[in-house]
């Protein structure tokens, strides 16, 4: 067997077994790398946070955390929906009790609502009109007066809003932008008929009239 | 009989018509309509009151036309058309129907719902306000759902005890679907199945299901 061994293999083996000659400077370079300065407290804190580790959590705690996260997400979505009307927002009164509660913090509105009876609800109207200098709402609830119900600029993003207490019923309405441009609510149901060439939207307040 | 007594009798005889005229003189119309237009609108309001129909929706219709700068004949025509719709609505819903119900029903009629369907809705939901189902019916038709289909679905939901919240949810979901590109008919058919209804109660006498 030994006779059949290839001399080339022996040569390679001998080469591999030979001690490796290392430059004397290598040790110094390696040690210099190892002796890095101690990181500061912020770096240590970041490393502590970023370092993966196993955490033991009971199923009960995990379930509670998940439920809280879902609740927060749901609340966030509701707020986001209310605040992102596109160019307009469907009035929210017909959405039922939650809508009424949105205006409940305003004492004036709450008083007006009480005067109108237990069935009244506060309806929050919003229109996004960034370039507008004024926006008013007109409809069955204000005798179609073009000046009775100005809307208020709600944000720098061009949102105009107003809250109006309404009894149960169905109301036609429209917006007037800059005092002359009639405009239906882009996201509210359109009135099925247009008697005067300027289409309306409609809002319906549910419940029993008192 | 003295002349003075005759005068008093004449005045008493004229009282009812004077009272009717005074009622028709809605203060909100003052200054908003030309005299001739106002007289024509007042006549419509008088007729509505004689028919025991609510006058307020007619006043509001006239005010809407005035605010929008419509011509007199157009305002009078709109008021007359609404009075007609209110009368048909009242005939369908019955004399005890509320003003809100009549306004919603008139809107559904104008959208294209048949009076018989509205009458059936009253039968299906006798002791509960119909304002919301009627309003949603009008809204669905206005969004492009065929009137017959919309009437059937609303009638069916009402018969099965759906609440106002359910009708609002149906409308909202259908609108969302339509804006996402779903055909109105498909949207309402699909979404109606998701609306919760009251559990079936004891058998009662109800009209046959609508098609």
Q: What is the rounded average pLDDT for all residues in chain B?
A: 87
Contacts of B101 (CB under 8 A, 6+ apart): B89, B93, B129, B130, B131, B134
**Residue A52 Cα to chain centre, angstroms:** 30
Binary contact (B66, A144; C-beta < 8 A): yes
Q: Give the residue from A170, A175, A187 with the most B CB atoms within 10 Å of its CB, the best one to mutate.
A: A170
In angstroms, the CA B68 to CA A126 distance is: 21
Higher pLDDT, A100 or B8: B8
CA separation (Å) from A73 to A67, A77, A79, A80, B73?
10, 6, 10, 10, 55
Binary contact (A169, B143; C-beta < 8 A): no
CA distance B6 to chain A (A): 43
Q: What is the pLDDT of residues A113-126, one digit of tens each?
A: 566 666 788 999 99
Q: What is the pLDDT of residues B30-72, one digit of tens each?
A: 889 999 999 999 999 999 999 999 999 999 999 999 999 999 9
Within an 8 Å CB–CB cutoff, is residue B147 touching chain A?
A: no
Q: What is the DSSP letter of B28?
A: G
Evaluate if residue A198 carries a pLDDT over 80: yes
Evaluate if residue A208 carries a pLDDT over 80: no
Within an 8 Å CB–CB cutoff, is residue B88 touching chain A?
A: no
Phi and psi based region of residue A24 (left: phi greater than 0; alpha: psi -120 to 50; beta: remaining): alpha
Element at A7 (helix H, strand E): helix A7-17
Element at A169 (helix H, strand E): strand A169-177
Q: Give the residue from B101, B128, B131 with the most A CB atoms within 10 Å of its CB, the best one to mutate.
A: B131
Q: What is the pLDDT of residues A123-182, one digit of tens each?
A: 999 999 999 999 999 999 999 999 999 999 987 789 999 999 999 999 999 999 999 999
First-last CA distance in chain B:
70
Highest average pLDDT, of A30-34, B43-47, B198-202, comes from B43-47
Residue A156: what pLDDT? 75
CB atoms within 10 A of CB A158: 15
**Which has the closest alpha carbon to B47: B72, B77, B14, B83?**
B83
Evaluate if residue B145 carries a pLDDT over 70: yes
Q: What is the pLDDT of residues B100-130, one digit of tens each?
A: 999 999 999 999 999 999 999 999 888 889 9
């Amino acid at each position: 067997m030994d006779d059949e061994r290839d001399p080339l293999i022996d040569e390679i083996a001998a080469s591999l077994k030979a001690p490796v000659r290392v430059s004397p400077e290598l040790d110094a370079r390696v040690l210099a790398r190892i002796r890095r300065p101690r990181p500061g407290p912020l770096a240590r804190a970041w490393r502590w946070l970023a370092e993966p580790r196993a955490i033991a959590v009971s199923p009960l705690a995990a379930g509670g955390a998940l439920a809280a996260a879902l609740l927060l997400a749901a609340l966030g979505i509701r707020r986001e929906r209310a605040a992102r009307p596109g160019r307009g927002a469907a009035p929210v009164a017909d959405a039922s009790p939650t809508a009424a509660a949105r205006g409940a913090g305003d004492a004036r509105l709450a008083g007006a609502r009480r005067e109108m009876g237990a069935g009244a609800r506060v309806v929050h109207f919003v229109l996004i009109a960034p370039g507008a200098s004024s926006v008013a709402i007109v409809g069955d609830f204000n005798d179609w007066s073009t000046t009775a119900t100005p809307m208020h600029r709600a944000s720098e993003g061009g949102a105009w809003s107003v809250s109006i207490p309404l009894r149960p019923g169905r109301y036609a309405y429209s917006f007037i932008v800059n005092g002359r441009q009639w405009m239906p609510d882009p996201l509210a149901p359109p009135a099925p008929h247009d008697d005067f060439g300027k289409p309306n939207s409609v809002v319906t307040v549910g419940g029993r009239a008192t | 009989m003295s002349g003075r007594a005759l005068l008093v009798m004449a005045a008493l005889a004229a009282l009812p018509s004077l009272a009717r005229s005074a009622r028709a003189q809605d203060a909100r119309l003052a200054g908003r309509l030309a005299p001739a237009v106002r007289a024509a609108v007042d006549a419509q309001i008088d007729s509505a009151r004689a028919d025991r129909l609510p006058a307020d929706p007619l006043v509001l219709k006239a005010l809407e036309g005035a605010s929008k700068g419509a011509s007199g004949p157009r305002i009078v025509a709109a008021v007359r058309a609404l009075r007609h719709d209110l009368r048909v609505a009242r005939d369908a819903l019955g004399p005890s129907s509320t003003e809100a119900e009549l306004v919603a029903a008139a809107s559904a009629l104008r959208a294209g719902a048949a009076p018989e369907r509205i009458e059936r809705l009253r039968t299906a939901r006798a002791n509960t306000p119909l304002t919301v189902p009627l309003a949603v019916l009008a809204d669905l038709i206005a969004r492009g759902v065929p009137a017959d289909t919309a009437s059937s679905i609303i009638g069916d939901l009402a018969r099965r005890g759906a609440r106002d919240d359910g009708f609002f949810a149906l409308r909202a979901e259908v609108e969302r679907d339509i804006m996402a590109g779903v055909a109105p008919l498909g949207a309402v058919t699909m979404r109606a199945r998701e609306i919760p209804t009251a559990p079936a109660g004891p058998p009662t006498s109800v009209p046959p299901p609508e098609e």
